[in-house]
Amino acid sequence: MPTTIFEHMSARAREAGAINLGQGFPEGPGPRAMLEVAADALLTRSSQYPPMAGLPELRSAVADHYARHQGLNLTPAEVIVTSGATEAIAASLLALVQPGDEVILLAPLYDAYLPLVERAGGVAKIVTLTPPEWRIDRAALEAVVSPRTRFALMNNPVNPTGAVMRGDELATIAAFCVAHDLIAICDEVWEHLTYDGGTHRPLMAMPGMRDRTVKIGSAGKIFAVTGWKVGWMCAAPPIATMLARAHQFLTFTTPPNLQWAVAQGLDFPDTWFTDQRAACQASRDRLARGLRAAGYIVLDSGATWFLSIDLTASGFAMDDVAFCEQIIEEAGVAAIPISAFYPVPSINHLVRLCFCKSDATLDEAIARLAGFRARMVAADDQAR
Ligand code: GLN
């Protein structure tokens, strides 16, 4: 299997001492109230195996959280706690995919999807979306489906584009899944990080999807504690049973003190989530504004921790990989080339930058990238 681009760029950033706007992770320690619960649970509660499918308190907290925030009617039995969303994706595929089953993927796609589909014995059928709208239409889905197609695996909101699927797109996917009797595996780790008043709608709530959707979530993203690796997968009982079987042979359980803390966090008042969203949106705007002032063309991002710059439109005659290598060395900033999200070379003029950082970090990165662009433009002028 390939080395993930996130590990590659973070290792390069460490070597070069660069500001890391590549792999997505925030700088802060995480919510104090959750850290205290986690620390206290280490000292006062069991450190032995919790129940395989997760602490009952956390499974209930996930179900209650989605009832409150997304109007879903999950029972705790329909929630399986995992060691991060990546484990949930792997467990879902290992549980459900039979050798030769076709799995529809939407590109750009999160880099773990394809190797995991293939290791599970699946055959990827890729629908390529086009910038700047990245819209999903029925004809493109129909063009790849066959009698062997059994799943559609997708991310909503979308990493790396920051797109949030609209109601009509979700309806299209739902009608398509129902028509072809597909199970949707929907990675919704960015569900709370939507901006400009946009709200996330779970695919599971669309007509016909309640019993054919695996909904995946991540405490690391919601609470800005990416190293904790606590996630979950939710599905109707027949599917949930299969998911739990796969999970038992992957990690079996997830650290109990972190589960206690996440259960607490999911119960935070609504204002905590709106404040978090507002803070991320302000960081997005700060980075976008600074880069635009420096002459970069920034694509709109309505969600996630990421925005993208368009190299061609910004006046760079190099591809995304070359740009990322050059800015690590010459600007001291690490980023992610968006071509890494495509299984076959297609888009290579977009670069992803992570904005969930302190103002000081963002300002320093902006200054470095501004200097880099100015030097490139000056060198170009001299060459002419
Ligand atoms: N989801 C993170 C990102 O897109 C990466 C997570 C990881 O490296 N496993 O940056």
Ligand 1 mean position, distance from CA 313 (Å): 26
HSE, CB side, 13 Å, CA atoms: give it for residue 46: 7
List phi, psi (to 5°) of 280.
Answer: -65, -40
* Ligand 1 atom at minimum distance from 112 CA: 9
What is the pLDDT at residue 83?
98
Identify the residue whose C-alpha is closest to ligand 1 atom 8.
6
- Prediction pTM value: 0.97
Indicate where the chain has its CATH 3.40.640.10 domain(s): 32-267
What is the pLDDT at residue 166?
96
* Ligand 1 atom at minimum distance from 4 CA: 8
Torsion of CA 9, 10, 12, 16, to 10 degrees: 130
* Extended beta strands in 251-326, E state: 297-298, 306-310
What is the pLDDT at residue 199?
93
Cβ-contact 194, 277 below 8 angstroms: yes
Show the DSSP H helices in 151-269 as ranges.
167-179, 219-222, 237-248, 256-266
Angle at 298 between CA 306 and CA 276, to 5 degrees: 35
Instruction: Determine which helix (DSSP H) or strand (DSSP E) holds 217, and give its type and residue range.
Output: strand 213-218
What is the pLDDT at residue 345?
80
CA distance 46 to 353: 40
Distance from chain centroid for Cα 344: 20
Q: Going residue by residue through the chain, which has 384 residues, state the pLDDT in tens, using 9 for 90 and above.
A: 889 999 999 999 999 999 999 999 999 999 999 999 999 999 999 999 999 999 999 999 999 999 999 999 999 999 999 999 999 999 999 999 999 999 999 999 999 999 999 999 999 999 999 888 899 999 999 999 999 999 999 999 999 999 999 999 999 999 999 999 999 999 999 999 999 999 999 999 999 999 999 999 999 999 999 999 999 999 999 999 999 999 999 999 999 999 999 999 999 999 999 999 999 999 999 999 999 999 999 999 999 999 999 999 999 999 999 999 999 999 999 999 999 999 888 899 999 999 999 999 999 999 999 999 999 988 888 887
3-class DSSP state for residue 302? coil
CB atoms within 10 A of CB 289: 13
Identify the residue whose C-alpha is closest to ligand 1 atom 3.
24
CA distance 299 to 332: 22
Per DSSP, 24 falls in state: -
Indicate where the chain has its CATH 3.90.1150.10 domain(s): 5-29+271-374
7: CB partners within 8 A, 6+ apart:
23
Cβ-contact 24, 305 below 8 angstroms: yes
Which residue type is seen at 292?
R
Show the DSSP H helices in 151-199 as ranges.
167-179
* Residue closest to 161 by CA, chosen among 331, 329, 310: 310
**Does the domain at residues 32-267 carry the CATH identifier 1.10.10.10?**
no
Ligand 1 mean position, distance from CA 147 (Å): 33
3-class DSSP state for residue 11? helix
CA distance 236 to 213: 8
Ligand 1 mean position, distance from CA 23 (Å): 5
Ligand 1 mean position, distance from CA 357 (Å): 15
What is the pLDDT at residue 383?
81
Identify the residue whose C-alpha is closest to ligand 1 atom 4.
24
Would you tell me the crossing angle of helices 256-266 and 32-44 to the nearest 10 degrees? 140
Pocket test for ligand 1, best of 4, 6, 307, 336 (most atoms within 8 A of CB): 6
Angle at 43 between CA 38 and CA 49, to 5 degrees: 75
Q: What's the fold here for domain 5-29+271-374?
A: Aspartate Aminotransferase, domain 1 (3.90.1150)
- Binding pocket residue ranges, ligand 1, CB within 6 Å: 4, 6, 23-24, 86, 159
